[in-house]
Amino acid sequence: MIHPCCQWKIGSYLIVLSAAAIFEARSLNLEDKMLLVTAAGSEPLNCFTQTLEDFLCFWSERNGSHTNDYRLFYQDLQGDDGEKKECPLSIERIGSNMSRYICTFPTRDVSLFAPLEIEVSLNSSVIMSRQDIYINYVVILDPPSNVTVQRTEKPNQLHVQWSAPQLKHLENSIMYEVSISSVGSSVQKVETIKKTECIFAKLKLQTEYLVSVRAKPDGVSIDGYWTIWSKPVSAMTGSDLDPLILSLSLALIMIAMLLFLTMLMTRRRVIKEKIWPLVPSPENMFDGLFTVYRGNFQEWLGRSSAHILWNLQFFSSEEPATALEIMSEIKTFPPDLAKVKHQEIFLDEQSFLVSRSDPFKLQGGPLMDEGKQPAGAQVAPNNREVYVVLNQNFLPGGTSLFDAHRLTPGSNDVSDEEMPLQLLFESPRTSSRWDRSPAGEEDSFRDASMSRQSSVSRQSSLSSGIEQGSPVTPAHFDYAKYGPGGQLLYLSPRGFKLERNRNHPYLHMSDSGVSADFSIMDFQSRRNTADTGIYTNLCRREDLPECLQASNSESLTNHLRSNLS
C-alpha cells in the first residue's frame, strides 16, 4: 500500500513524463525552426509562423535571476482597438546555462498582411522591441514530405516527386529547391521550381544519387525562411542496355547457334573425314585379293590374271609355268609296279609318291628303291589310283614305268626333250610283254626293267639334265589312260604327236620349277585284264589301232590330266 502522497507524486511524474515525450516529438521540429530563424535573423527577438494561423516569438539568454519578470506586449496597428496586449511567456531550458522565452500568440490575434508591434519589457522598461512585423513575411514551413525518386524511360533520368507542406489558401505561393548529388561526391545540382515534381536529366548511368527537397514561400504575398532539407532519398540510374535490344540480340545469337549446330550435325560425316581421314584401303588396287583369295597374297599371285604384273622378273625366256593338277591322291602304285613294292611305296597317302625309303620319288622325294621288290607284293584291292612320277631319277631297276609308258600305243618315238616324261608312260611294246595275269606280273616287271636298262641310263642322264633345271617346253600334251590291268582305256583326243613319230611313247612335260599338281586316277587291279567295266570313255581316239583293241591291250594305266598354260 503506497502512501497517498507518494501516489500523487508518482502520478504527476508519469503525466509530466508522457507530456514531455509528446512535447519532445513536437518540439524537435520546432527546435529546428527556432534554430533556423535564430540563425537567419539578426535580432534577439525572433518571431515566425508555421501555418499562417500561429505566431510565436522567442528569445534566449543566460540564466539569470529575472526569469519571471519579462513581459511581452504586442499591438496590431490596424486592430479594432489598437491596444497593447500581453502574451504569456513560457520558459524552457536549452543547454546548461541558457534559457529560452517563448511567446505563443493567441490564434485570434494572428493578423496577416498587417503590421505588428512587439515589445519585451523588464520591470516596465522595454528592452527589446520589434516594429512592423508582418506575420506573412516570417513564414517557415515544414519540409516537403513523401519525396519519391523514380526512373523514367531513359536510363539517365530520374523523376522526383514530393508533397507540398501544409499551408492554407496559399499552397501555390511556395517555391522549392531540389538537390541531387551522387553518393560520395560533393557536387550538387540544385533546381528551384514551383511545382511539386521535377525530372533530372543527363545523369550518370549506373550510379546512386541522393535527392533532397526544401521549401520556402515564393515572396509574392508570403515570405519566410527556407525549410530544413527533407530526408535524402537514394535512387540508382539505369544501365545503357535496353532490355528489348538485349533480348533481341540474345535471340539472334541463339538462332545463329542453332543453325550452326544443325549444319554441323548434317555434315558430321564430312567433317569427321576431314579431321580424321580414313585409312585408304588397298582393295581396289588388288583385284580379287580380299574377296576370292581371302587375303592370301601368294595364292592371288599364282592364280590371278594380274599376276603377270607382279611376276615380271620371272617373265624371261622361260615359258610360263604349267600347272599340274592331280586328280586324285595316289594311293597305290600301278599294279605292275606296285606288285613289287607298293606296300613300301604307298604307305603314305600323300598326293606325291613319297615313301620312306622307296625309290619312287616325285619331285625330289626319296628315291624308291626299285631293287626292293617285295615278294608277293600285291596290289591292294582297293588301291585304284594312278600315279605320276615326275622325277627322272626313277631308276629303271624295278621300274615298270618304262614298261608302263611303253605300253602306250603308238608312241614309239620320243624326243629328247620329252625324256622327262618318258618315265610316265609305258610303251605299247612294253605292254605287250606284260603279263596281265597276277602271277606273272612280277616276272614281266622284271623283264621290263631289265630290258630297259640301257634306255634308263640314257634317260637318267637326261633326267639329270632335267633335274638341273633346264626347262623343256612341250608343244602340246597328251595323255593316255590305262587301266590297272594295263589295258588302254583312254587316249586324249588331242593330237598326240608324240605317238606318231616317236619311238617311245613319251610325254614331255616342262619342269619350270613349279610344282606340278597332277591327279592320278584310280586304276583297277590288273587282275582283270579284260575287264574294262569301270572305265568309261574308253579310247576315244579312232586313228589309233590300239584303241580299237583297247580291251586287249595290256598296259599300265596312266591318266594324266594337265593344264597347259
The CA distances from residue 388 to 211, 217, 517, in Å, are 124, 143, 10
The total of other beta-carbon atoms located within 10 Å of residue 146's CB is 12
The CA distances from residue 108 to 55, 57, 111, 476, in Å, are 10, 16, 8, 160
| Closer of 171 and 299 to another protein (Cβ) | 171
Q: Is 52 in the site for another protein (CB under 8 A)?
A: yes
Q: Is 311 in the site for another protein (CB under 8 A)?
A: no
Q: Which stretch binds another protein (CB under 8 A): 72-80, 97-105, 142-150, 332-340?
A: 72-80
Q: What is the DSSP letter of 481?
A: E
Q: Is 166 in the site for another protein (CB under 8 A)?
A: no
Residue 210-239 contact track with another protein, rule CB under 8 A, x = bound = ----------xxx-----------------
What does the H/E/C string look like for 255-291? HHHHHHHHHHHHCHHHHHHHHCCCCCCHHHCCCCCCC
Q: Is 438 in the site for another protein (CB under 8 A)?
A: no
Q: Is 75 in the site for another protein (CB under 8 A)?
A: no
Q: Is 131 in the site for another protein (CB under 8 A)?
A: no
| Closer of 173 and 182 to another protein (Cβ) | 173
Q: How large is the C-alpha radius of gyration of the chain?
A: 73
| Closer of 169 and 204 to another protein (Cβ) | 169
Rounded to the nearest whole angstrom, what is the least distance from the CB of residue 143 to another protein in the complex? 22
| Closer of 171 and 443 to another protein (Cβ) | 171
In terms of phi and psi (left: phi > 0; alpha: psi -120 to 50; beta: otherwise), the region of 217 is beta
Q: Measured on CA atoms in the order 308, 310, 312, 313, is the torsion positive or negative?
A: negative
| Closer of 76 and 385 to another protein (Cβ) | 76
Q: Which stretch binds another protein (CB under 8 A): 103-111, 324-332, 364-372, 418-426?
A: 103-111
Tell me, by CB under 8 A, how many residues bind another protein.
Answer: 24
Say if residues 518 and 561 touch (Cβ distance below 8 Å): yes
Rounded to the nearest whole angstrom, what is the least distance from the CB of residue 194 to another protein in the complex? 9
Q: Is 134 in the site for another protein (CB under 8 A)?
A: yes
CA 107, CA 53: separation in Å to the nearest integer?
6
Which grid coordinates belong to 113? 498582411
| Closer of 85 and 527 to another protein (Cβ) | 85
Rounded to the nearest whole angstrom, what is the least distance from the CB of residue 76 to another protein in the complex? 6
| Closer of 79 and 374 to another protein (Cβ) | 79
The CA distances from residue 458 to 300, 392, 415, in Å, are 40, 11, 12
The total of other beta-carbon atoms located within 10 Å of residue 6's CB is 9
| Closer of 74 and 506 to another protein (Cβ) | 74
Q: Which of 9, 26, 169, 494 binds another protein (CB under 8 A)?
A: 169
Say if residues 140 and 40 touch (Cβ distance below 8 Å): no
Q: Is 197 in the site for another protein (CB under 8 A)?
A: no
Q: Is 76 in the site for another protein (CB under 8 A)?
A: yes
Q: Which of residues 171-190 bind another protein (CB under 8 A)?
A: 172
Q: What is the DSSP letter of 388?
A: -
CA 384, CA 535: separation in Å to the nearest integer?
12
| Closer of 172 and 192 to another protein (Cβ) | 172
Q: Is 111 in the site for another protein (CB under 8 A)?
A: yes
| Closer of 83 and 153 to another protein (Cβ) | 83
Residue with cell 600315279: 387
| Closer of 219 and 545 to another protein (Cβ) | 219
Q: Which of 67, 78, 146, 537 binds another protein (CB under 8 A)?
A: 78
The total of other beta-carbon atoms located within 10 Å of residue 560's CB is 26
Q: Is 12 in the site for another protein (CB under 8 A)?
A: no
Element (H, E) at 98: strand 98-104
CA 487, CA 60: separation in Å to the nearest integer?
168
Q: Which of 46, 136, 400, 408 binds another protein (CB under 8 A)?
A: 136
Q: Measured on CA atoms in the order 246, 249, 253, 258, is the torsion positive or negative?
A: positive
Rounded to the nearest whole angstrom, what is the least distance from the CB of residue 174 to another protein in the complex? 13
Q: Is 112 in the site for another protein (CB under 8 A)?
A: yes
Between the CA atoms of 547, 552, 558 and 561, what dihedral angle is there, to the nearest 10 degrees?
30
Q: Which of 41, 115, 302, 471 binds another protein (CB under 8 A)?
A: 115
Q: Is 83 in the site for another protein (CB under 8 A)?
A: no
Burial class of residue 264 in the structure, from the number of CB atoms within 10 Å of its CB (0-12 exposed, 13-18 middle, 19+ buried): exposed
| Closer of 133 and 147 to another protein (Cβ) | 133
CA 177, CA 144: separation in Å to the nearest integer?
10
- Binding footprint of another protein on the chain (CB under 8 A): 52-53, 76-80, 107-108, 110-115, 134, 136, 168-170, 172, 220-222
